[in-house]
Structure 1
Amino acid sequence: MIADDRRREILRRLQIDNYVEAAALSRELGVDASTIRRDLDALARSGQAERTHGGARIAAAPSDIPYAVKESERRQEKVAIARAAATDVSDGQTVILDSGSTTYQIALELRHKQGLTIITNDLRIGKYTATLPNVRLLVTGGELLGSVYTLVGERAVDFLSDYSADWAFLGADAIDPTAGITNTNTLEIPIKRAMIRAAAASIVVADSSKFGSRALAKVAAIEEVGQIITDRAQPIEGLADYGPTVLFA
């Protein structure tokens, strides 16, 4: 098992149990104790874990901001972004909605469309969409990241491989012209990439505070997505470096 896969597995166990023991990880993952120590140290440096004697625990300040906090932050900007994102969606199309508070706003904006198929890994989006008439809802399988209502894992990725969508709307923790679209939680990376592969057009929706910064793990290069929709609440330095992909709501 390569380092990235091993660390994703350690994070998965931390999300479930809140604590991992280094000796048990060494036995179960088939690597020596020094390798596990390096993995745990790397996760601690990235803010995703806290080292303890003999192991690690989930970071006291979680790497994913809880949904209730995200939902209240920059709400006006997120509504404007969602309205711009929903404009080009036509009746009868298939739309993938990534987990997040901005994509939840897109779900609200899509309520007036007819005959949509919506695919999501977000339980809150799924719950809301289930109340809409004339919408076909598909929710990925997978394992729940409770604080953000997100389904992740191999089953979620495999689920998406069976479908083709017209649109995929993805959130992002950070956007940088060199690092590209990045995310704090590595467990979400495979399903975000699967969403991009499954859609004819991939759109990143992110407020302007996300620009010019980098998070831990790369989702995609700027040129791998069709468009980035943001707001004008704050200026984006080096806007030209992002190419023609940025659209302001």
Structure 2
Amino acid sequence: MTATERRDQIVELLRARGYVNAGELSELFCVDGSTIRRDLSFLEKTGRVMRTHGGLLPAQDASEGDTPYSVRRNLNIQEKAAIALAALSEVKDGQSMILDNGSTVFQLALALKSRKNITVVTNDLMTAMQLSQHPSITLHVAGGVMLHNVYTLVGSDTTRKFEHIHVDWAFLGAEGVHFESGITNINTIEIPVKQAMIAAAERTVVLADSSKIGYRALSHVCLLDTIDHVITDDRRPVKNLNKYGEKLRVVQA
């Protein structure tokens, strides 16, 4: 195998897994650590990977990555606020929750000031900044590497944080919600983090405006059976509404 072939396979492996430990690569390709370090240095310089402590993440392609937060936060504001209020109605004082990244979940963070003694764990820096202003909220911020433009922390440190906690709720964002494909996301980097969030929570609710319903993004997070329900708005008609069953809760925007 040539160095070019090995490096291409490393990138493909990253896209499939979302994170790879550098030590694993030496064993997988039967080469010494110095060879892998040269590969990673080359891939980083050419913009194909992001290096982290002990491993690496796939570099985010600007043509395929998330829409910058500065753009997303101003889209469908009324719908997202209605979804957030519906989610808030399920939360009681004294409960704990995970807040995923995303502009719809951020609207829930804005609304949480009406609850008391809430514990929040998040990997979204914009959400963390918002919640830090409320003394009745105990805030935990996951570690990790920040994705460009979206203020989201990802990587093995982030995943590990959620693997070691237990909460009442997980409120997740999504790029796509489909009755067959379930919950999907635009990139692979966030998938292990989202799956760890789901595993850490008693109940998981996905917050997605109606533009996301029926859409299938690139990366699979989970099937609808894995979560409790999806909250969306009524601004756009949902095709095949009956196929979502009780998993889809539509609120008036």
TM-score of the aligned structures, taking structure 1 as reference length: 0.79
* Runs of 5+ consecutive residues of structure 1 not aligned to the other structure: 13-26, 37-42, 44-55
Q: Is the 8 A contact 2:93 2:116 kept in 1?
A: yes
Query: Once the 2 structures are TM-superposed, how far is the Cα of residue 2 of structure 1 from its aligned partner?
Result: 8.3
Match of 1:170 in 2: 172
Match of 2:133 in 1: 131
Match of 1:198 in 2: 200
> CA, structure 1 residues 169+4, in 2 after alignment: closer, same or farther (shift >3 Å)?
farther
Of the three residues 28, 32, 46, the one matched with 2:36 is 28
Structure 1 ranges of 4+ moved more than 4 A: 1-4, 8-12
Q: Is the 8 A contact 2:94 2:118 kept in 1?
A: yes
> CA, structure 1 residues 58+102, in 2 after alignment: closer, same or farther (shift >3 Å)?
closer
Match of 1:188 in 2: 190
Match of 1:70 in 2: 72
Q: Distance in 2 between matches of 1:10 and 1:199?
A: 22
Match of 2:25 in 1: none
Match of 1:94 in 2: 96
> CA, structure 1 residues 103+72, in 2 after alignment: closer, same or farther (shift >3 Å)?
same
> CA, structure 1 residues 228+60, in 2 after alignment: closer, same or farther (shift >3 Å)?
closer
Q: Distance in 1 between matches of 2:105 and 2:113?
A: 13
> CA, structure 1 residues 225+100, in 2 after alignment: closer, same or farther (shift >3 Å)?
same
> CA, structure 1 residues 210+167, in 2 after alignment: closer, same or farther (shift >3 Å)?
same
> CA, structure 1 residues 58+248, in 2 after alignment: closer, same or farther (shift >3 Å)?
closer
Paired residue secondary structure (1:137): strand
What amino acid sits opposite 1:135 in the alignment? I
1:1-249 map, 5 Å? 5-7=13-15, 28=36, 59-249=61-251
Q: Is the 8 A contact 2:145 2:153 kept in 1?
A: yes
- Taking only the aligned residue pairs, the percentage that are identical comes to 40
Paired residue secondary structure (1:166): strand
Give RMSD over aligned pairs.
Answer: 2.6
Q: Distance in 2 between matches of 1:59 and 1:3?
A: 12
> CA, structure 1 residues 200+60, in 2 after alignment: closer, same or farther (shift >3 Å)?
closer
What amino acid sits opposite 1:126 in the alignment? A
> CA, structure 1 residues 60+118, in 2 after alignment: closer, same or farther (shift >3 Å)?
closer
TM-score of the aligned structures, taking structure 2 as reference length: 0.78
Q: Distance in 2 between matches of 1:202 and 1:188?
A: 16
Q: Is the 8 A contact 2:210 2:235 kept in 1?
A: yes
> CA, structure 1 residues 3+242, in 2 after alignment: closer, same or farther (shift >3 Å)?
farther
Q: Distance in 1 between matches of 2:176 and 2:224?
A: 12
What amino acid sits opposite 2:85 in the alignment? R
Query: Once the 2 structures are TM-superposed, how far is the Cα of residue 10 of structure 1 from its aligned partner?
Result: 8.5
* Runs of 5+ consecutive residues of structure 2 not aligned to the other structure: 1-8, 21-34, 49-57
Query: Once the 2 structures are TM-superposed, how far is the Cα of residue 59 of structure 1 from its aligned partner?
Result: 3.6
> CA, structure 1 residues 134+213, in 2 after alignment: closer, same or farther (shift >3 Å)?
same
Q: Distance in 1 between matches of 2:71 and 2:199?
A: 30
Paired residue secondary structure (1:147): coil
Match of 1:24 in 2: none
